[in-house]
Amino acid sequence: MKFLLDACAASRTLRDGLRGLGHDVRSARGELARASDEALLALAYEERRVLVTEDKDFGELVFLRRLPDPCVVRLVELRVVDQLDALRGLIERHGHALRVGAMVVMTRRRVRIRTTGFGEEDDG
């Protein structure tokens, strides 16, 4: 799976952990440090990446402003050390929703998934 980590969720722990699980990960730190939320959303959409953030503004961009909607996972009050395990569980239990498009809000006790119709699954 391909991920784009927003700057607020771009810890080395999460980035390296996802890569260690075999995922393709880009980070909004470094080359994308000055990218706006709209630019990150567009990049995630174009590259079919799951955008991981702690920022609630992406939901507004997708639903209220009707911008193109990639899959967005919002981590709420999860410690950095818990984020990788939470995402690993999400991928295992709800990977299909991530591939076809969803807005996901994850807390320590709850996962809320709203499908968005991001795209079709690849056959290959």
3-state secondary structure of 88: helix
With tokens 């899959």, the residue in question is 71
Q: Which residue has the higher pLDDT, 113 or 120?
A: 113
- Three-class DSSP category at 51: strand
Tens digit of each residue's pLDDT (9 = 90 or more) over 52-105: 999 888 777 776 656 556 789 999 999 988 999 999 999 999 998 888 888 899
Widest pairwise Cα distance in the chain: 36
pTM: 0.85
Measured CA to CA, the distance from residue 69 to residue 119 in angstroms comes to: 9
Residue 52's nearest CA partner among 120, 105, 115 is 105
Helix (H) or strand (E) holding 42: helix 37-46
β-strands 24-27, 50-53 pairing: unpaired
**Signed CA dihedral, 52, 57, 30, 108: sign only:** negative
Q: Are 75 and 119 a contacting pair, CB within 8 Å?
A: no
pLDDT of residue 21: 95
Second CATH level (architecture) for the domain 2-115: 3-Layer(aba) Sandwich (3.40)
